[in-house]
C-alpha cells in the first residue's frame, strides 16, 4: 500500500460515518438547521482529526513494514475529540454553500429547470483541485399549470446523457407546487475538479408550466 492508497482507505473508513444518512445531511443544509449542521460538522472535524493522526503515523514510520503496521492498526472509531464547529462554518446570507475551513465541507448547489423542454441546465462546476462527492439529489416543483405528464430528469457530469450521478427518473408524484423528491445516492460517482455537473430533462413534461428547483448536496475531498 502506498501513501495515496492509504489516504483513500482512511477516507473510505471515516467519511461514510459522517454522512451515513444522506437525508439528514440534506435536511440540515436545506433547512439551515444550525444544531443538525453542527452535529455533522463535529463528526467531520473528528474524522479529519483521525485521518491526520494516522497519516502522521504513516509518514513517521521508517520503512514499509512499519507503514503496513500503521495501516493495520486503523480502527473506525471517530473518537470524542473536543471540537468547535462554530469556528469552521461559513453560512453566506444568500445560502448555497457551507464550508469547513474554507476548503472542505457540506455544500448544496441548486438551479431552476424548465421541465417542459428537453435540454441540459448547468448545476455547478466543481472547483479546480477538488473532488466532489454527491450525497443527495433533490427536485422541488416550484410552479405548475396544465399538467398532463411529468418530466423525466437526471443529473450527471457525463456528456451528453448526464446521468452518472442520478439516473433518469420519472418525477411521479410531483404534480402539486411545493412537492419534493429526494434521491439518496448510496453509490455516488466522484466528480473531479473543473468538471461541469448538469441537470438533464430527457423527456419533457406535457404541461403549460412545469418548473423545478433541482439541487445536489455533497462534500469535497
Contacts with 155 (C-beta within 8 Å, 6 or more apart), sequence order: 123, 134, 137, 162, 163, 165, 166, 197, 198, 199, 200, 214, 216
pTM, two decimals, is: 0.59
| Identity of the highest mean pLDDT range in 53-62, 80-89, 185-194 | 53-62
From 3-7, 55-59, 83-87, the region with the lowest mean pLDDT: 83-87
H-type alpha helices, the chain? 3-18, 22-30, 34-60, 64-72
Residue 167: CB atoms within 10 A of its CB come to 13
Tell how far CA 70 is from the center of its chain. 30
> Which tens digit of pLDDT belongs to each residue from 147-206?
999 999 999 999 999 999 999 999 998 999 988 888 877 655 789 999 999 999 999 999
Q: What are the percentages of helix, strand and coil residues in the chain, rounded to 5? A: 30, 35, 35
> Which tens digit of pLDDT belongs to each residue from 134-148?
878 889 999 999 999
Listed in order, the ranges of the chain carrying CATH 2.60.120 are 106-220
Give, in degrees to the nearest 5, the angle at Cα 178 between 172 and 179.
25
Q: Which residues pair with 211 in a beta bridge?
A: 114, 143
The answer to whether 10 and 76 are in contact (CB under 8 A) is no
Mean pLDDT of all residues belonging to the chain: 82
pLDDT at residue 15 in the model: 83
CATH architecture of 106-220: Sandwich (2.60)
Amino acid at each position: 500500500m502506498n501513501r495515496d492508497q492509504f489516504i483513500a482507505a482512511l477516507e473510505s473508513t471515516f467519511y461514510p460515518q459522517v454522512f451515513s444518512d444522506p437525508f439528514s445531511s440534506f435536511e440540515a443544509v436545506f433547512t439551515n438547521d444550525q444544531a443538525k449542521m453542527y452535529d455533522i460538522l463535529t463528526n467531520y472535524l473528528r474524522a479529519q482529526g483521525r485521518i491526520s493522526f494516522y497519516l502522521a503515523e504513516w509518514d513517521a514510520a521508517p520503512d514499509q513494514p512499519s507503514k503496513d503496521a500503521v495501516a493495520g492498526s486503523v480502527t473506525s472509531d471517530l473518537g470524542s475529540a473536543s471540537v468547535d464547529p462554530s469556528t469552521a462554518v461559513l453560512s453566506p446570507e444568500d445560502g448555497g454553500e457551507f464550508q469547513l475551513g474554507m476548503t472542505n465541507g457540506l455544500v448544496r448547489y441548486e438551479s431552476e429547470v424548465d421541465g417542459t423542454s428537453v435540454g441540459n441546465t448547468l448545476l455547478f462546476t466543481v472547483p479546480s483541485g477538488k473532488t466532489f462527492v454527491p450525497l443527495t439529489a433533490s427536485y422541488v416543483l416550484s410552479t405548475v399549470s396544465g399538467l398532463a405528464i411529468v418530466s423525466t430528469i437526471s443529473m450527471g457530469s457525463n456528456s451528453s446523457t448526464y446521468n452518472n450521478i442520478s439516473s433518469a427518473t420519472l418525477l411521479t408524484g410531483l404534480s402539486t407546487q411545493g412537492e419534493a423528491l429526494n434521491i439518496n445516492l448510496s453509490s455516488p460517482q466522484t466528480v473531479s475538479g473543473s468538471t461541469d455537473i448538469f441537470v438533464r430533462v430527457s423527456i419533457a413534461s406535457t404541461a403549460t408550466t412545469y418548473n423545478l428547483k433541482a439541487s445536489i448536496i455533497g462534500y469535497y475531498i
